[in-house]
C-alpha cells in the first residue's frame, strides 16, 4: 500500500485540517489519493445523530462515500477505546486494520492518507496506541505540530518515539491554528532536527513544495 500515516504531537493539533489542505493540493496537481479515518470519536450531535464531521469533510472533498473512509464512530469526545466502552462496545486493532485493508486504494499511483487518533502515543483500540497502528502499516509518517509554546519539546519527544520504532518521518507540519501566533517556533525547531518542516499558515493553502516529498 502506498501512502502516509498522519499523526500528531497531541490531540487537536490540526491533523484533519492539514489532511484537507493536503488533499486539495493533490487534487489541484492531479494526483490520486484516498482518505482513511477508520475511527472517529466525538460524533454525537444535539439531535442524537452520529455524524463523523472530520470523515464527512474527507468524503466531500474526495467525492467518495463516507463508508469508504470511516467505519468506527463513537459519541463521546474521548479516546476511541474509552468512547467505545461508554457504549458497551469494544474496538480492536485488528478490526481497524481489516477496514483499512478492505478500503485502501490499491492503485500504485494513489496515495492513501490514513489519520491516526490524537498523538502518536494516544489510545486507538483496546490496549493499543496509534503507534501500534503505525508499526503494522509501516508507512512513512507525517507529524503534525501545533505551532505554540511547548511544541518543540512535544515534537522532539514524538520524533524520538517514532524513530525508535524504525519508522520514517517524511516531514513535519508546523500548523498555525490561529491567525496570530504569539510565538513562532519554526526557526528554533529547525535547529534541533534535520527532518523537513513545512509551514501551514492559518486558513491558507498547503505549500506546493509538499509535492516534492511525495517520492
Please choose, from the candidates 6, 76, 74, 73, the residue with its C-alpha nearest in 3D space to the C-alpha of residue 34. Answer: 6
105: phi then psi, degrees, rounded to nearest 5: -90, 120
Residues 2, 15, 21, 37: which is the catalytic one? 37
Q: Is residue 153 within 8 Å of 193, Cβ to Cβ?
A: no
Give dist(CA 91, CA 32) in Å, integer.
30
205 is annotated as an active-site residue: no
- Three-class SS of residue 47? coil
Q: What cell was used for 37?
A: 479515518
Give dist(CA 200, CA 152) in Å, integer.
16
Strands (E), 25-122: 32-36, 39-40, 72-73, 110-119
How many other CB atoms are found less than 10 A from the CB of residue 11?
Answer: 13
Give dist(CA 42, CA 51) in Å, integer.
9
Active-site residue numbers?
Answer: 37
Amino acid at each position: 500500500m502506498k501512502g502516509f500515516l498522519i499523526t500528531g504531537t497531541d490531540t487537536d493539533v490540526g491533523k484533519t485540517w492539514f489532511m484537507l489542505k493536503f488533499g486539495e493540493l493533490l487534487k489541484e496537481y492531479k494526483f490520486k489519493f484516498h482518505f482513511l479515518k477508520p475511527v472517529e470519536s466525538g460524533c454525537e450531535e444535539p439531535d442524537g445523530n452520529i455524524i463523523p464531521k472530520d470523515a464527512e469533510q474527507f468524503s466531500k472533498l474526495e467525492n467518495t462515500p463516507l463508508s469508504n473512509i470511516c467505519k468506527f464512530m463513537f459519541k463521546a469526545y474521548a479516546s476511541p477505546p474509552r468512547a467505545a466502552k461508554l457504549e458497551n462496545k469494544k474496538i480492536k486493532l485488528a478490526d481497524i486494520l481489516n477496514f483499512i485493508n478492505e478500503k485502501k486504494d490499491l492503485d500504485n499511483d494513489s496515495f492513501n492518507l490514513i489519520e491516526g487518533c490524537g498523538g502518536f502515543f494516544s489510545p486507538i483500540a483496546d490496549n493499543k496506541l496509534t503507534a501500534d497502528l503505525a508499526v503494522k502499516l509501516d508507512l512513512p509518517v507525517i507529524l503534525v505540530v501545533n505551532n505554540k509554546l511547548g511544541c518543540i519539546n512535544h515534537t522532539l519527544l514524538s520524533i524520538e518515539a517514532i524513530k525508535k520504532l524504525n519508522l520514517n518521518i517524511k516531514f513535519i507540519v508546523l500548523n498555525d491554528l490561529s491567525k496570530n501566533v504569539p510565538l513562532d517556533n519554526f526557526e528554533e525547531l529547525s535547529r534541533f532536527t534535520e527532518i523537513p518542516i513545512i509551514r501551514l499558515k492559518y486558513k491558507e493553502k498547503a505549500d506546493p513544495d509538499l509535492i516534492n516529498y511525495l517520492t
